[in-house]
A and B are shown apart, each in its own frame.
Chain A
Amino acid sequence: MKLNTPSLAMAAVMLCLLLVGTTLSAHHSFSAFNMDSEETITGKVRQVDWTNPHIWIWLDVANEDGEEETWGMEGMSPNYLARRGWTKDTLQTGDEITATIRPMKDGKKGGMFVRTTLGDGTTLTMGGGSN
């Protein structure tokens, strides 16, 4: 499994962010997500859109029949994340991850990114405060 190894400083930042916990959004409500539920998905990173107003992490996940499906995970903005330790290369195409999301209410294959733990034990979150 190929994984980036974040620096020790970044790992410290991520730990702090993990302790903060909740995520925050600037321009839209959380109503499309089931905020009371968390689920995990495991797969290979297809692409990271390092874009405003939100980053999108696309994950290729095998379904019960072994067919590959692409899930979309919405994160905070690159502006917000770059000030908190992330870069556009923190997650890269081909990385195998298990991610925790707050799933879409409408059942579509996606959700709000909550966290993932890398191979070295570092946990990546969105960080931030409450809204």
Chain B
Amino acid sequence: MSKLHFLSLLGAVTIIAVLASSTSAQFYTTAVPTPEDWAELSELPDLNGVWERGGGGGRGRGRGGGTPLSPTPEYTSIRDTLAERGAEDSETATCPPPGMPGIMTQPYPMEFLLTPGKVTIIIEAYTQVRHIYTDGRTLPENPDTLFFGNSIGHWEGDTLVVESIGFSELVQIARNLPHGDNMRIDERFNLTGPDTMTIETTITDPDALTAPYTTTATLARHRDWTIAEYICEENNRNFMDAGGKAGIILDNPGGLPR
């Protein structure tokens, strides 16, 4: 084999290897939206706009109903052990965002955007975004573990149904209660009035919970609000020390907190 032929063969093998690795990475190509796809959106319940939990004005957290949280004996023990440490705060004091489900319960608004094949939720708190694919793709079989999981959605009548799997070990079901590898979160979004919506959230976790944990939140749409910037690191003076004690940096008044 001449040197030239050998290099050609090497190049071909390289290209095949690259192609093989890209097809195994579960990429999904969304169809180019047609005018009909855009028109179909107008037939769906209009979830677009800026929403906040509670009935407005920030009073109450808009949470009610549902089933009790029932950890398995193993996870009850884990929760008790974590609680005994007596941490006065959580990691979010130094600005990492809470993942799911906590990010959906913040006292800040969220903007919903419906576009062909996707629902996007822009969350003001910590400047976060949830990507929910409604283009027909399926959930990954071997998902990466993420703060918000991997989400797909579909419509059942007037209800947007969202399924999420694959969550980072850095997020918790509730304070001091971690989740198992197979936690799943199902959400049902329903308009209940011109500017009111409910979100029913069900957490299923065969390792951590003996029964599904369901809560229902009520949200109000604020037509006169826009989403504001929220960079937690801008001027954060809060922290939790290694011993779990909450503290505040008061140094350098009027300057950066250091």
Contacts and interface: CB of A to CB of B under 8 A. Distances in A.
B151 to A, nearest CB: 23
Contact of B107 (A58, A104, A109, A128): A128
Contact of A53 (B225, B234, B250): B234
Interface of B: 54, 57-61, 88-90, 92-93, 95, 106-108, 124-126, 225, 228-232, 234-238, 245-248, 250, 253-254
A70 B253 CA distance: 7
Given A56-B235, A128-B107, 4 more contacts: A52-B232, A53-B230, A56-B253, A72-B248
B230 A49 contact: no
Contact of A54 (B58, B235, B254): B235
B61 A56 contact: no
Interface string A87-122: 000000000000000001010111000000000000
Contact of B250 (A52, A79, A109): A109
B90 A74 contact: no
Task: Give the most central of B58, B60, B229: most A CB within 10 Å.
Answer: B58
Interface of A: 16, 20, 24, 26-29, 31-32, 46-47, 49, 51-54, 56, 58, 70, 72, 74, 77-80, 82-84, 104, 106, 108-110, 127-131
Interface of B, helix, strand, loop or mixed by DSSP: loop
Given A52-B230, A53-B234, A77-B230, A28 B250 contact: no
Nearest to B127: A52
A52 B234 contact: yes
A58 B255 CA distance: 10
A129 B248 contact: no
11 contacts: A20-B59, A24-B107, A26-B125, A27-B238, A32-B238, A32-B247, A52-B232, A54-B235, A56-B254, A72-B253, A131-B107
Given A27-B92, A31-B89, A72-B253, A128 B58 contact: yes
A104 B124 CA distance: 28
B175 to A, nearest CB: 10
Contacts, number: 114
Contacts of B124: 79
Given A46-B254, A80-B108, A29 B88 contact: yes
A92 B180 CA distance: 50
Contacts of B225: 83
Given A53-B230, A80-B108, A82-B228, A28 B61 contact: no
Task: Give the most central of A74, A80, A109: most B CB within 10 Å.
Answer: A80
Given A84-B58, A128-B58, A27 B232 contact: yes
Given A32-B238, A53-B95, A70-B253, A24 B232 contact: no
A26 B254 contact: no
Nearest to A128: B58
B238 A47 contact: no
Contacts of A31: 88-89, 245-246
Given A54-B235, A74-B237, A129-B54, A29 B246 contact: yes
A129 B60 CA distance: 6
A78 B238 CA distance: 16
Task: Give the most central of A32, A47, A56: most B CB within 10 Å.
Answer: A32
A72 B254 CA distance: 9
